[in-house]
Structures are given as C-alpha cells and as structure tokens.
Amino acid sequence: MSIQDSGNCSSWAEADPLMLEYHDKRWCKPCHDDTELFAMLTLEGMQAGLSWSTIIHKEAAIRRAFDDFDIDRVAAYDAAKVEELMRTEGIVRNRLKIQSVIKNARAIRKLEDGYESFDEYIWHFTDGKQIIHHIKSLEDMPARSELSETVSKDMKKRGFSFVGPVIIYSYLQGIGVYDDHLDGCPCKSRPVV
C-alpha cells in the first residue's frame, strides 16, 4: 500500500522511534510556549544542510548545551560560551549556527518591545489561527509558501538569522501554525465544528 493510498504521512518517521514520536506528538501541533518556540527555531536552523533525523537524535544534547533554551540565558552568551559550545560533543558544532542561536535569542528579547511574547509575534501572522492544509501525498507538500516568505522577511528585518523561507516553512509546521499531516493521517487536526 502506498502512502498516498493509506493517508498516512509518517513514512519518513516509521523506521525510527524518535522520529515517529516527533511525527505523532509534536509535528504540526500548535505550540504557544515561548521557550519551545525558540527551541524549535533553533532546531530548524541547526538542520540547515542536515537531515531532520540527525537533529532529532542530537536534540537532547542540544537542549542541555543551550540551557534548555532559556531565552535570557542564551541571549547573554559571550564569545567564551561560543568556544565552549564549539567543543561540546553531541551537538551541531557549526560556529555560524551557534552564533545564530544567540542572535535569535537577542532578537526575541528586542521584539518583545512591540509584542508581549514571542508567541504573540509568531502567531500574529495568522491572527492566532492554525492553517490546515489538505495534502494528499508527500510529493504535494510544498517547501515554502507566501506566508513563510513573509515571516522570513520580517524576521530577517528584526535581526534573526537562519530564517530563510524554507526553514521557516518547516518551522511553521513544527510549531503547528501549519498542519501538513496528510488528509487521512490519524494525527491530522480536526476542524472545530
């Protein structure tokens, strides 16, 4: 049976328990916690050029290394901390990506001058509503959208990095702004009636 016939979109995750858990419990589920929104932004940025499986398997180490994504603590990291992270086993040791995490934490704190939270900022692009796409097969899933282009452009203007439109599309899926589970997938959100 093909994935298109089954209506299941977890074929990318089925061979790996961590990936399957991510698909079933986190992917496309609305998130409104600032720390977790920052965590997902970090993980998506870390993925650039790598597989999502690599990131999921490094996630626990990345969370530990970045103080469980405490935004204030990460925003206060200095050059010595960057060097420490460059020596930390089990994480993505790419200097630009590590510096990006710090830059993004600082950008979150700056944007709070105009928004009460990072959550409010991210979700304002859709007026707080989840967008449920009706996708029949994984081949039909886009890599970017008009919304991801808009969010990417705005975030770059505000000082964020590693936030291109493809990364942001994946981020919007990861935090549940988009529900891109295939129609028929048991994890698909059901519209409120």
Q: Is 60 within the bounds of a domain?
A: yes
Q: Are 147 and 125 in contact (CB under 8 A)?
A: yes
Asked if residue 9 belongs to a domain, the reply is no
Cβ–Cβ under 8 Å, residues 171 and 26: no
Q: What is the pLDDT of residue 75?
A: 98
How many C-beta atoms surround the C-beta of residue 78 within 10 A?
Answer: 9
Q: Which 8-state DSSP code applies to residue 38?
A: H
pTM (two decimals): 0.93
With a cut of 60, say whether residue 35 has pLDDT above it: yes
Q: What is the pLDDT of residue 193?
A: 37
Residue 145 has pLDDT above 90, yes or no: yes
pLDDT at position 68: 98
> To which residue do tokens 């007026």 refer?
127
Q: Is the residue at 17 inside a domain? A: no
- Average confidence (pLDDT) over 80-95: 98
**Does residue 7 carry a pLDDT above 60?**
no
Whether the per-residue pLDDT at 8 is higher than 80: the answer is no
Q: Can you give 153-193 as a three-state secondary structure string?
A: HHHHHCCCCCCCHHHHHHHHHHCCCEECCCCCCCCCCCCCC
- Residue 172: how many CA atoms within 13 Å on its side-chain side? 34
CATH of the domain at 100: 1.10.340.30
Q: Which domain holds residue 107?
A: 27-179
Q: What is the mean pLDDT of the chain?
A: 92
Residues annotated as catalytic are 22, 44, 52
Residue 112 maps to a domain:
yes
**Other CB atoms closer than 10 Å to residue 160's CB: what's the count?**
23
Q: Structural domain tally of the chain?
A: 1
Say which residue, 76 or 189, is predicted with more confidence: 76
Is residue 105 included in any domain, yes or no? Answer: yes
Domain-located, residue 191: no
| Confidence tier at 112 by pLDDT (50, 70, 90) | confident
Q: How confident is the model at residue 98 (pLDDT cuts 50, 70, 90)?
A: very high
> Is 46 strand, coil or helix?
helix
pLDDT of the residue at 3: 34
Residue 190, pLDDT score? 66
Residue 151 clears pLDDT 80, i.e. is over it = yes
Candidates 82, 91, 79; CA nearest to 42 is 91
Q: Is there a domain that residue 35 lies in?
A: yes
The answer to whether position 121 is within a domain reads: yes
